[in-house]
Structure 1
Amino acid sequence: ALEGRDYENVCNYILYFFNVNAQVFLYCNTAENITQS
């Protein structure tokens, strides 16, 4: 079973993972826009 603290760590990890993914996605979009123009 997950304890409160473990659950917090899992949430933080998921948030971090999505945050990194969002940044990579933004970076790729920006790079695409620059190469197109």
Structure 2
Amino acid sequence: MQYQQPIRRLRRLRQTETVRTLFKETILTLNDLLYCPFS
């Protein structure tokens, strides 16, 4: 029962990391879409 806690914490951390990378990717694609017509 005690070894499940770090796994849960690690899973949560990984989830936030994926969300963060998704956010970065979305911002990058939005920047590309915004700056493409001007360049």
**TM-score (norm: length of structure 1):** 0.89
User: Hey, what does 1:22 align to over in structure 2?
Assistant: 21
Q: What fraction of aligned residue pairs are identical, expressed as a percent? A: 6
- Any gaps of 5 or more consecutive residues in structure 2? none
Which structure 1 residue ranges, 4+ long, deviate > 3 Å from structure 2?
none
Distance in 1 (alpha carbons) for counterparts of 2:25 and 2:3:
33
How many residues end up aligned between the 2 structures?
35
For structure 1, the 5+ residue unaligned runs are none
Q: Which has the higher helix share?
A: 1
Larger gyration radius, structure 1 or structure 2: 2
Matched, 1:8 2:7: yes
